[in-house]
Amino acid sequence: MRINNEKLIEMTIAAILNGEPLSWVFSCSKSQLKALTEALVATRQFEKKLFNENACLVEVSDALRVKHAYAKAFQRAFGQKWPL
């Protein structure tokens, strides 16, 4: 079964977020790895703010703005939209 690059990236992101080990080889450049890592961290930070009852709207908005910035960097690095 041949998996396209977009699906492989989505599977990798899902596995990382779920704390599962990768059962496949995922190779990318240093800049792509940096973009992936930053997008994952920004997404997690946004979700923490979003679901935190004590977070104010400004904090959530700031976290969303950061997430969008790293999502754009991911898109430039991989040529596809950030799936989260």
- In tens digits, the chain (84 residues) has pLDDT values of 455 677 888 888 888 888 888 777 778 889 998 999 899 999 999 999 999 999 999 999 999 999 999 999 999 998 989 988
H or E element that contains 37? helix 30-50
CA distance 3 to 43: 25
CA distance 74 to 51: 24
Give the tokens for residue 32. 């792509």
CA distance 51 to 42: 14
Give the tokens for residue 33. 């790895």
